[in-house]
Amino acid sequence: MASALALFFIFNLASFHALPDVVLEDGYTVSTVIDGHKLRMNPHSVLHRSGSSDLVVLDSANNTFYTVSFPASQESVVKRLSGDGRPGYLDGKLSSARFNSPRSFAIDLKGNVYVADIKNKRTIRKISDSGVTTIAGGYSEKAGHVDGPAQNASFSDDFEISFIPELCALLISDHGNQLVRHISLKAEDCARGSNAAMGAVSTWLLGLGLSCLLGLIVGIAVRPYIIPSTGRLQAPPFQRDMETSPNSSGETSTDTLLRHQKRSC
Ligand SMILES: *[C@@H]1O[C@H](CO)[C@@H](O)[C@H](O)[C@H]1NC(C)=O
Ligand SMILES: *[C@@H]1O[C@H](CO)[C@@H](O)[C@H](O)[C@H]1NC(C)=O
């Protein structure tokens, strides 16, 4: 009996060491980036806004969405995106629109915000630059799981939304109905890079273009000094550059360089 007990303990001890319940992984750091006390808001949830350096912060208790410039600091610019603070159901202008303690939202690649506004007739609302609209559930009077044209669709009293860029769609985890629902978005709202992102991409392309151009110019400028060594002093560099049959004459190292440069552009 005693040996059985001892075995039991040894076995348990061994299995405890072999299969720990908690695995502590090092290498992560926590820091505070937005202090609601200082910024006078109560962050319920936060997402990065595509196409900008802003975060969108939902203050559910105050029925308001804010944008906070990021990286956030004491000097962060906090702007009210939409919601006038009071609970209500009002579409239209960003500044006067009203929400009713929404708990979940998603952001598409253009920066539009989609709000699961459950207390407002279980609707899904859209905050765009031009204002606030209701995109789903507008006609629904009661909870349900009706699919079809979005204004006539219905949802349960408990759902959350997320945006899936690869699908260009919202997925709705409709807890109350035990369903995942799907709403396709407009293609223009899934085009990567509007606003700031577009700026970054075009700057990058401009940089690439400039470096290509610089490479070509350097190639052209350097060539005449190398060409004489091959006894082809007379060849005007520009004209030669236009030649379509580069193999017809002796190739210098800059020819190769130039070709590489052109190919990589
Ligand atoms: C948000 O609501 C709290 C009370 O819930 C209030 O004290 C605070 O002033 C509100 N903030 C803003 C910016 O409206
Ligand atoms: C949606 O609901 C509205 C209002 O009840 C109705 O007029 C309209 O015909 C419905 N549309 C569809 C496609 O069911």
Does a structural domain hold residue 20? no
Name the DSSP letter for residue 100. Answer: -
- Tally of domains within the chain: 2
58 and 118 assigned to the same domain = yes
Identify which ligand lies nearest to the alpha carbon of 84. Answer: 1
Does a structural domain hold residue 12? no
User: What digits encode the pLDDT tens for the residues 25-49?
Assistant: 999 999 988 889 988 899 999 999 9
Question: Is 149 touching ligand 2 by the criterion CB < 6 Å?
Answer: yes
Apex 150 CA angle, 189 and 137, nearest 5: 110
184 and 142 assigned to the same domain = yes
152 Cα–ligand 2 center, Å: 6
pLDDT, greater one: 217 or 66: 66
49 and 164 assigned to the same domain = yes
Residue among 123, 135, 139 whose CB has most ligand 2 atoms within 8 A, to mutate: 139
Q: What is the pTM of this model?
A: 0.69
CB 198 within 8 A of CB 52: no
Rounded to 5, what percent of the chain is helix, strand, coil?
Answer: 35, 25, 40
φ/ψ (deg, to 5) at 250: -60, 135
Question: Is 95 touching ligand 2 by the criterion CB < 6 Å?
Answer: no
- Tell me what the mean pLDDT of segment 207-228 comes to: 50
User: What digits encode the pLDDT tens for the residues 102-159?
Assistant: 999 999 999 999 999 999 999 999 999 999 999 999 999 999 999 999 999 999 999 9
Q: What CATH number is given to the structural domain containing 149?
A: 2.120.10.30
User: What digits encode the pLDDT tens for the residues 64-116?
Assistant: 999 999 776 667 789 999 999 999 999 999 999 999 999 999 999 999 999 99
Does a structural domain hold residue 25? no
Question: Is 63 touching ligand 1 by the criterion CB < 6 Å?
Answer: no
68 and 109 assigned to the same domain = yes
201 and 135 assigned to the same domain = no
Question: Is 62 touching ligand 1 by the criterion CB < 6 Å?
Answer: yes
217 and 106 assigned to the same domain = no
Does a structural domain hold residue 21? no
Query: Beta partners for 132?
Result: 92, 127
Taking the CA of residue 59 as reference, the ligand 1 atom at the shortest distance is 1
Looking from the CA of 176 toward its CB, the CA atoms found within 13 Å total 13
Per-residue tokens: 229: 């060594």
CA distance linking residue 257 with residue 239, whole number of Å: 17
Apex 83 CA angle, 56 and 154, nearest 5: 90
Does a structural domain hold residue 55? yes
214 and 165 assigned to the same domain = no
For 22-46, letters b (16+ CB in 10 Å) and e give eeeeeeeeeeeebeeeebebebbeb
Residue where one domain finishes, among candidates 142, 167, 190: 190
156 and 210 assigned to the same domain = no
139 and 203 assigned to the same domain = no
135 and 57 assigned to the same domain = yes
207 and 83 assigned to the same domain = no
Query: Beta partners for 92?
Result: 132
Domain, as residue range, for 96: 31-190
Per-residue pLDDT at 264: 46
Q: Is 44 left (phi over 0), alpha (psi -120 to 50) or beta?
A: alpha
In this structure, what is the dihedral angle of CA atoms 65, 71, 72, 74, given to the nearest 10 degrees? -140
CA distance linking residue 127 with residue 17, whole number of Å: 52
Residue nearest to atom 4 of ligand 2 (CA): 139
40 and 162 assigned to the same domain = yes
Identify which ligand lies nearest to the alpha carbon of 149. Answer: 2
Does a structural domain hold residue 230? no
Does a structural domain hold residue 144? yes
Identify which ligand lies nearest to the alpha carbon of 137. Answer: 2
Does a structural domain hold residue 51? yes
Residue among 40, 62, 82 whose CB has most ligand 1 atoms within 8 A, to mutate: 62
